[in-house]
Amino acid sequence: MQQHTHSHSAGGRLKLGIIISSLIFLAEIIGGLLANSLALLSDAGHVLTDIVALSLSAYALRQAQRPPDHRMTFGYHRLGVVVAVVNALAIFGIAGFIIYEAVQRLQAPPDVDSPVMLGVAVIGLTANLVVAFWLREAQKESINIKSAFLHVVGDALASIGVIIGAIIIMLTGLTAADAVVSVVIALIIAVSAWGILSEAVKVLLEAAPGHVNLVVLAGEIAAIPGVEGVHDLHVWSLTPQLHALSAHIVIGDRMTSETARVRGDVERLLGDQYGITHTTLQVECLNCGPGGILCNPENGNHLLPPHQPDQ
């Protein structure tokens, strides 16, 4: 119930963000055309990606609430990760286009109406700060919302850049500042996208979460009374916040009740120490061979050396 309430609240904030961002987009398009400002039009382009990002995030958030079914047995949680990748790639595309246009303008700087440029940028900055404030808590729980949040933060930084550019033009008449600010905007939003993209790709490749060291984890499991070994150990993430594990746990020949106790101890370790609550543990009396904790699913070769306990 708490998760559902949180998702509903985040969805409402995303919808408000979409409305405000749409108003910013219209204002900056009109203002950019009137002021002949590439920086303002570039910021409008980024706001358009904000709208797309917020819309995709709202859609993914709604889909993630759908229960598992016979085809999607893990549910739809990873849709938010896919959306994060799309958002990041969109930011890179926008950044590349802005840099290209800025280079063209540096070669022949046009006249820019700096007062209009300044006024619209201030309005855009104010609205972006409001949206970022609304999303600041929700983005901590979802890479999907975090990608949308970074869109908005990047646009707020871009608006600051436009304001600085407008002031420089007003004071010095140096219209090339408009193109320079555009390049800075492009670099800022590209850097913000890289972290999201790398994190999302790791999830899609089913890499082990950053806080999990498989050798250390295997040693901690093996140290539990009743456990004689662990192999075929896999840890991955459905989302950056939702982790899963599967493993073969080797125990001695014992009663079913004792086996259940050992299994419960392993699950408590995983949940309390690593935040891994979705586990699949196969209890058996044989190891997959001498050595390693990772068994190659194709030929049974071991990819890691056996764990050596601390002396």
Q: Are residues 191 and 306 in the same domain?
A: no
Q: What is the pLDDT of residue 266?
A: 93
- Tell me the pLDDT band of 306, cut-offs 50, 70 and 90: very low
Q: How many domains does the chain have?
A: 2
Choose the final residue of a domain: 169, 187, 204. Answer: 204
- How distant, in Å, are the alpha carbons of 31, 117, 124, 162, 246 from that of 28? 5, 9, 8, 11, 51
Chosen domain end from 140, 170, 204: 204
* Mean residue pLDDT across the chain: 78
Beta strands in the chain (DSSP E): 227-239, 242-251, 276-284
Res 217: pLDDT: 92
How crowded is residue 245: how many other Cβ atoms within 10 Å of its Cβ?
A: 23
The amino acid at 120 = V
Higher pLDDT among residues 309 and 250, named by residue: 250
Pair (297, 156) in one structural domain: no
pLDDT of residue 8: 53
Residue 308 sits in a domain of what CATH number? 3.30.70.1350
Range 235-251 average pLDDT: 87
Asked if residues 212 and 184 have their Cβ atoms less than 8 Å apart, the reply is no
pLDDT band at residue 286 under the 50/70/90 scheme: low
Does residue 281 sit in the same domain as residue 228? yes
Whether residues 139 and 46 share a domain: the answer is yes
Range name among 10-24, 142-156, 214-228, 269-283 with the lowest pLDDT average: 142-156
Mean pLDDT across the stretch 8-16? 72
CATH classification of the domain holding 57: 1.20.1510.10
Q: Let me know whether 181 and 282 are in one domain.
A: no
Tell me the two tokens of residue 296: 């190659």
Query: 162 and 307, same structural domain?
Result: no
Domain that holds residue 292: 206-311
* Residue 11 sits in the same domain as residue 83: yes
The highest-confidence range among 28-37, 75-84, 111-120, 270-279, by mean pLDDT, is: 270-279
0.85 exceeded by the pTM?
no
Contact (Cβ atoms closer than 8 angstroms) between residue 252 and residue 261: no
Within a 13 Å sphere around the CA of 250, how many CA atoms are in the beta-carbon half? 16
Residues 133 and 267 in one domain: no
Q: Check: CB of residue 203 under 8 Å from CB of residue 83.
A: no
Q: Which residues of 112-123 are buried (b: 16+ CB within 10 A; e: fewer)?
A: bbbebbbbbbeb
Same domain for 72 and 219, yes or no, is no
Domain boundary among 204, 234, 260: 204
Tell whether 124 and 103 lie within a shared domain: yes
* Of 26-35, 103-112, 170-179, 299-308, the least confident: 299-308
Whether 274 and 185 share a structural domain:
no
Residues 170 and 191 in one domain: yes
Question: Which pLDDT band holds residue 185 (cuts at 50, 70, 90)?
Answer: confident
Sign for the pseudo-dihedral over CA of 206, 209, 210, 212: negative
